[in-house]
């Protein structure tokens, strides 16, 4: 093989890589709104190396012709324009924001490019100063490259490259661009000395260096397209040269038939043959996408809604990492819960990712950092090295998001088929989570009904027992009070105190058994909290009681019964040794909320699930009915009461009630 043919093959490979980048940039512009300048740049560079291929294959006379001269000028001027646009900063990455450019800066940038372009035209005319002009060109290209490297270094992030992220710059990118600057200088100096072969070799190396900036982030897709296009070109070349060899020994009529057959064969190859070749290629070399899809489908059939939302997500992550050959994956649910598997750092995601309804503004299909306008979210995805985000979206709701980190080896970047597989997997998982949620709600309703039946039976029994106990207790108390006036006064006084305690417990039993009838009126919760705390400030001088209200916050409630709930919570906090009690009142999404936080002994973790059950108490002398009555009262208002606590760090009780409408 001659040196010119070998050079043509090498330049053809470089041109093929840039053609693939141009295709991906074009698709990114249409689908992801990436800068169109990226497509234009890749197209010009593809043309540059394509002309090198033609130049290596044609005769010296053809290269010296007027057409060859014109193509050479267009090629060089196009490269100068590419470097000028690159210096402007827009196509460095879709999210890179260059500093504001003044008119003077823009005029200087493109003015220098125009001067260099004029010098190229002069050099092509065969001027004696061609060597000096070549040095000026090399200085221009290397200088622009160094300026671009400096601009990238300001925002470069340390660490390895990761696939799927065009929106961030790594320190390795700065090193690559710096190597490109050195190649520009070396190529210019060698061209000035007349060593065109080494200069051309450096030109090809420069093209690969600059291509690496994008290739390393889309390695899987670039390799796939490179092999496909290579096979297409090999097939076209084989048909052309094979039929050309046949035509050499054929008759004139046979030669014409062979020419017609060659044209038809090329039409088939460049038309439907592309689809046939692509399907066959994928079937042979990219069977892993099909295996992944089948593996995930088989796993989903084993996922049972009875396991619950968290368990389903945890198993799904493990299966996705194993089957999709991922570095790591995480699921951030709508309520903020996070589950992870493999190598993925979730701290930045948990801190920045939107929760609840705020997450509904994110895309409904797979996306990555380049598709987001929020800089904080892009930064979080970059810190976690997330290459793809897939929403867990069912017909009922958005459950959260699946975050994927991939590696260069094994899974490299997601291919189109992998993306579709991941989206289908996320949709099916979201439907399983729907079923798990509905099942959990059904179980909760059954438990609630059983609990209500149990409470009703307990209430009925409590009422009977209380009535049976109250009369003898009253009689005994009267007798003890009479004895307290005699010589056994001390013992009788103790008996009266104990009977008073029994009376209070009987009253609590009757109150628990009695069905409350609410008198609903408009109640300003801020004023109610202030009044309740004010009454305790006179009694609890050793504790600090304060309120943080943002009102007025008005709810429809029975003022007295709601005050009793607050009184019970404050008394419990004081009994727990609280030195400070803080009440907060607010309203969000049509719901009023009252929070009481204290710094007392807190509630043991094992006791929290039973805290509102009747007859359960953490106090030695407690009846276990105060919080049960509080929950029944709040639920009768159409609200709910919850408790959270850390032992030794106090407890927090939260009451949520529907806000009152404008009409009362």
Residue 251 has pLDDT above 60, yes or no: yes
How many domains does the chain divide into? 4
Task: Give the percent of the chain with pLDDT over 70.
Answer: 71
Do both 143 and 70 map to the same domain? yes
- Which phi and psi (to 5°) does residue 328 adopt? -170, 165
Residue 165 has pLDDT above 60, yes or no: no
pLDDT score for 319: 92
Most confident of 37-46, 257-266, 389-398, 550-559: 389-398
Cα separation values, 591 from 497, 655, 656, 658, Å: 44, 10, 6, 5
- Which phi and psi (to 5°) does residue 386 adopt? -80, 130
Residue 316 has pLDDT above 90, yes or no: yes
Is residue 474, in this structure, part of any structural domain at all?
A: no
Give the domain CATH number at 582. Answer: 3.30.565.10
Is residue 513, in this structure, part of any structural domain at all?
A: no
Q: Which residue has the higher pLDDT, 517 or 174?
A: 174
Do both 434 and 537 map to the same domain? no
Do both 131 and 73 map to the same domain? yes
- Which phi and psi (to 5°) does residue 102 adopt? -80, 165
Do both 401 and 280 map to the same domain? no
Residue 1 has pLDDT above 50, yes or no: no
Helix (H, G, I), strand (E, B) or coil at 593: strand
Distance, in Å, from the CA atom of 159 to the CA atom of 169, rounded to the nearest integer, reads 10
pTM for the whole structure: 0.53
207 and 160 Cβ atoms separated by less than 8 Å = no
Where does a domain end: 419, 441, 463?
441
pLDDT score for 330: 93
Pull the structure tokens for residue 556: 């429809």
429 and 312 Cβ atoms separated by less than 8 Å = yes
Distance of CA 411 to the CA centre of its chain: 19
Distance of CA 593 to the CA centre of its chain: 30
499 and 536 Cβ atoms separated by less than 8 Å = no
Where does a domain end: 441, 470, 490?
441
Do both 241 and 212 map to the same domain? no
Is residue 154, in this structure, part of any structural domain at all?
A: yes
Instruction: Please tell me the number of Cα atoms within 13 Å of 280 on its side-chain side.
Output: 8
Average pLDDT over residues 483-497: 69
User: 3-32 and 219-248 helices cross at what angle (nearest 10)?
Assistant: 130
Long-range contacts (CB closer than 8 Å, 24 or more residues apart) made by 264-268? 265/239, 266/236, 266/239, 266/240
Question: Bridge partners of 654?
Answer: 595, 642
Residue 282 has pLDDT above 70, yes or no: no
585 C-beta neighbours (distance < 10 Å), count? 23
Distance, in Å, from the CA atom of 564 to the CA atom of 577, rounded to the nearest integer, reads 20
pLDDT score for 402: 94
Q: What is the DSSP letter of 606?
A: G
Do both 280 and 294 map to the same domain? no
pLDDT score for 388: 84
Average pLDDT over residues 203-222: 78
pLDDT score for 54: 81
Indicate the pairing of strand 521-524 with strand 338-342: unpaired
Where does a domain end: 171, 190, 217?
217
Do both 203 and 223 map to the same domain? no
Is residue 495, in this structure, part of any structural domain at all?
A: no
Residue 283 has pLDDT above 70, yes or no: no
* Tens-digit pLDDT profile for residues 85-132: 877 764 445 445 566 778 888 888 889 989 988 888 888 777 777 777
Which domain does 144 fall in, by range?
3-217
Per DSSP, the residues of 444-489 read: HHHHHHHHHHHHHHHHHHHHHHHHHHHHHHHHHHHHHHHHTTSTTH
* Tens-digit pLDDT profile for residues 628-644: 888 888 888 888 899 98
Distance, in Å, from the CA atom of 656 to the CA atom of 596, rounded to the nearest integer, reads 12
From the CA atom positions of the chain, what is the Rg in Å? 39
User: 272-285 and 287-302 helices cross at what angle (nearest 10)?
Assistant: 60
Helix (H, G, I), strand (E, B) or coil at 73: helix
* Tens-digit pLDDT profile for residues 372-408: 778 788 888 877 878 889 999 988 889 999 998 876 5
Is residue 471, in this structure, part of any structural domain at all?
A: no
Do both 198 and 331 map to the same domain? no
Residue 410 has pLDDT above 50, yes or no: no
Q: Which residue has the tokens 């038309």?
A: 271
pLDDT score for 243: 66
- H-type alpha helices, 484-537: 489-513, 525-537
Is residue 469, in this structure, part of any structural domain at all?
A: no
* Tens-digit pLDDT profile for residues 496-505: 676 676 766 6
Long-range contacts (CB closer than 8 Å, 24 or more residues apart) made by 657-660? 657/525, 657/555, 657/557, 657/591, 657/592, 657/593, 657/594, 658/555, 658/556, 658/590, 658/591, 658/592, 659/553, 659/554, 659/555, 659/587, 659/590, 659/591, 659/592, 660/522, 660/523, 660/554, 660/555, 660/556
Q: Which residue has the higher pLDDT, 409 or 52?
A: 52
Is residue 591, in this structure, part of any structural domain at all?
A: yes
pLDDT score for 473: 67
Helix (H, G, I), strand (E, B) or coil at 390: strand
Least confident of 35-44, 165-174, 415-424, 550-559: 165-174
pLDDT score for 125: 77
pLDDT score for 535: 83
Distance, in Å, from the CA atom of 330 to the CA atom of 268, rounded to the nearest integer, reads 46
Distance, in Å, from the CA atom of 166 to the CA atom of 21, rounded to the nearest integer, reads 12
Do both 278 and 369 map to the same domain? no
Distance, in Å, from the CA atom of 456 to the CA atom of 151, rounded to the nearest integer, reads 74
Q: Which residue has the higher pLDDT, 570 or 383?
A: 570
Average pLDDT over residues 311-331: 90
Q: Which residue has the higher pLDDT, 284 or 577?
A: 577
Helix (H, G, I), strand (E, B) or coil at 64: helix
Average pLDDT, the chain: 77
pLDDT score for 254: 64
Pull the structure tokens for residue 135: 């040095």
Do both 297 and 415 map to the same domain? yes
Average pLDDT over residues 229-239: 72
Is residue 430, in this structure, part of any structural domain at all?
A: yes
Cα separation values, 654 from 294, 317, 593, 646, Å: 47, 34, 7, 15
- H-type alpha helices, 324-415: 347-352, 375-383
Do both 149 and 170 map to the same domain? yes
Helix (H, G, I), strand (E, B) or coil at 607: helix
* Tens-digit pLDDT profile for residues 414-470: 456 777 888 899 999 999 999 988 888 887 777 766 666 666 666 666 666 665 666
Do both 234 and 336 map to the same domain? no
């Amino acid at each position: 093989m001659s040196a010119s043919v070998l050079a043509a093959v090498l330049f053809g490979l470089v041109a093929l890589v840039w053609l693939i980048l141009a295709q991906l940039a074009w698709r990114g512009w249409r689908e992801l709104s990436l800068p169109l300048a990226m497509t234009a740049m890749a197209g010009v560079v593809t043309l540059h190396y394509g002309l090198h291929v033609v130049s290596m294959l044609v005769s010296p006379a053809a290269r010296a012709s007027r057409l060859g001269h014109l193509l050479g000028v267009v090629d060089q001027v196009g490269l100068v324009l590419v470097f000028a646009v690159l210096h402007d900063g827009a196509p460095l990455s879709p999210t890179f924001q260059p500093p504001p450019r003044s008119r003077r800066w823009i005029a200087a940038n493109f003015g220098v490019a125009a001067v260099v372009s004029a010098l190229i035209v002069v050099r092509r005319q065969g001027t004696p100063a061609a060597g000096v002009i070549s040095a000026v060109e090399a200085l221009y290209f290397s200088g622009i490259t160094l300026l671009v490297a400096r601009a990238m270094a300001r925002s470069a992030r340390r660490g390895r490259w990761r696939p799927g992220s065009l929106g961030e710059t790594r320190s390795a990118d700065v090193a690559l661009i710096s190597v490109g600057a050195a190649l520009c200088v070396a190529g210019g100096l060698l061209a000035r000395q007349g060593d065109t072969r080494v200069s051309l070799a450096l030109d090809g190396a420069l093209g690969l260096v600059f291509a690496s900036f994008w290739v390393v982030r889309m390695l899987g897709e670039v390799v796939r397209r490179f092999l496909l296009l290579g096979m297409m070109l090999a097939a076209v070349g084989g048909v052309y040269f094979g039929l050309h060899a046949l035509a050499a020994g054929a008759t004139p009529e046979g030669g014409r038939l062979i020419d017609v057959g060659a044209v038809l064969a090329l039409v088939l190859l460049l038309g439907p043959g592309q689809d046939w070749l692509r399907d066959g290629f994928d079937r042979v070399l990219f069977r892993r996408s099909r295996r992944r899809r089948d593996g995930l489908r088989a796993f989903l059939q084993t996922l049972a809604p009875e396991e619950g939302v968290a368990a389903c997500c945890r198993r799904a992550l493990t299966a996705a990492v194993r089957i999709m050959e991922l570095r790591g994956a995480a699921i951030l649910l709508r309520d903020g819960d996070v589950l992870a598997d493999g190598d993925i750092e979730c701290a930045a995601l948990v801190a920045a990712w939107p929760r609840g309804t705020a997450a509904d503004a994110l895309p409904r299909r797979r996306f990555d950092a380049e598709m987001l306008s929020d800089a904080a979210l892009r930064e979080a995805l970059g810190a976690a090295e997330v290459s793809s985000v897939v929403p867990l979206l069912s017909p009922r709701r958005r459950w959260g998001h699946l975050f994927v980190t991939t590696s260069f080896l094994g899974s490299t970047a997601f291919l189109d088929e992998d993306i579709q597989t991941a989206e289908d997997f996320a949709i099916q998982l979201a439907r399983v989570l729907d079923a798990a949620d509905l099942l959990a709600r059904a179980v909760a309703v059954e438990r609630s009904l059983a609990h209500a039946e149990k409470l009703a039976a307990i209430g009925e029994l409590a009422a009977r027992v209380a009535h049976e106990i109250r009369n003898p207790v009253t009689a005994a108390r009267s007798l003890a009070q009479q004895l307290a006036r005699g010589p056994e006064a001390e013992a009788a006084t103790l008996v009266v105190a104990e009977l008073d305690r029994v009376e209070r417990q009987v009253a609590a039993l009757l109150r628990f058994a009695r069905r409350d009838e609410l008198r609903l009126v408009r109640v300003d919760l801020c004023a109610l909290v202030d009044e309740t705390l004010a009454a305790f400030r006179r009694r609890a001088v050793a504790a600090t009681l304060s309120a943080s209200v943002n009102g007025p916050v008005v709810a429809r409630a029975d003022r007295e019964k709601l005050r009793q709930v607050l009184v019970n919570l404050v008394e419990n906090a004081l009994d727990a040794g609280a030195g400070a009690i803080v009440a907060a009142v607010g309203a969000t999404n049509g719901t009023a909320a009252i929070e009481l936080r204290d710094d007392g002994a807190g509630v043991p973790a094992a006791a929290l699930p039973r805290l509102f059950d009747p007859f359960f108490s953490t106090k030695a002398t407690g009846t276990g009915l105060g919080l049960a009555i509080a929950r029944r009262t709040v639920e009768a208002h159409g609200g709910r009461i919850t408790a959270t606590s850390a032992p030794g760090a106090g407890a927090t009780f939260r009451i949520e009630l529907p806000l009152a409408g404008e009409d009362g």
